[in-house]
Amino acid sequence: MLKYLFDHKIDHYFGYPLAPIELIEYGDFQCEYSAAVYPEIKMLQEKMGNQLKFVFRHFPQSAIHPMAFDAAVSAEVASLQDKFWYMHDFIFENQKYLTRSSLSNFAAEIGLDVAAFETSRSHKKLAKKVTNDFETGVKSDVNGTPTFFINGHKYDGFNDFESLYKACKFLLITKGMVAE
């Protein structure tokens, strides 16, 4: 069970804030499995439209992914320029090129003010956000990435489009929001 519910003031979300289905991912930007599910989530968002709110929380596994924490902080820096989702997508789409210097290149590619990006990367507040996300995951029994919660319940199915869609659609049916 998810211990920390969605908070529009601190969580990064995409979609309608009051959507009947809330999909929260604890992800790691350097995890190959998080990258593999990224296009599946994109398809799910497209298929479900305003019935889905997708929330991304950081769960960098720094012991096995040395660039994961820096990538997460970089996404937080991008959020200061209202481009969290641009950086999120760009990192996953270019994961195999992930290095400390490539993050600056990614920032330039998505149109960030690179000087401000570089200055902001050392802000403790942004690192604290990443650490807080990680800690909420630990308290919610997240032990790997990606880990999903659908409407507060841990999802233990397969991480492909069809399985995620069926789980979300089942909830919509049980809420009486779609015909079977």
- Count of structural domains within the chain: 1
Instruction: Classify residue 4: in a domain, yes or no.
Output: no
Instruction: Classify residue 7: in a domain, yes or no.
Output: no
Answer whether 106's CB lies under 8 Å from 86's CB. no
Please report how the helices 84-93 and 68-80 are oriented relative to each other, as an axis angle in degrees rounded to 10. 150
Instruction: Classify residue 156: in a domain, yes or no.
Output: yes
Instruction: Classify residue 57: in a domain, yes or no.
Output: yes
Instruction: For residue 19, give the CATH number of its domain.
Output: 3.40.30.10
Q: What is the pLDDT of residues 1-49, one digit of tens each?
A: 999 989 999 999 999 999 999 999 999 999 999 999 999 999 999 999 9
Q: What is the pLDDT of residues 86-113, one digit of tens each?
A: 999 999 999 999 998 999 999 999 999 9
- The total number of residues written for the chain in this structure: 180
Backbone φ, ψ for residue 160 (5° rounding): -110, 165
Cβ-Cβ contacts under 8 Å for 122 (sequence gap 6 or more): none
Q: What is the pLDDT of residues 149-169, one digit of tens each?
A: 999 999 999 999 999 999 999
What percent of the chain shows pLDDT beyond 70? 98
Range of the domain at 64: 12-174
3-state secondary structure of 22: strand
Q: Measured on CA atoms in the order 91, 82, 131, 58, is the torsion positive or negative?
A: negative
Cβ-Cβ contacts under 8 Å for 47 (sequence gap 6 or more): 161, 165
Instruction: Classify residue 2: in a domain, yes or no.
Output: no
Instruction: Classify residue 93: in a domain, yes or no.
Output: yes
What is the distance between the alpha carbons of residues 82 and 61, in angstroms, rounded to a whole number? 25
Instruction: Classify residue 73: in a domain, yes or no.
Output: yes
Answer whether 59's CB lies under 8 Å from 147's CB. yes
Report pTM. Answer: 0.95
Instruction: Classify residue 6: in a domain, yes or no.
Output: no
Mean pLDDT of 118-131: 96
Rounded-to-10 torsion of CA 63, 76, 92, 34: 50
176 has pLDDT over 90: no
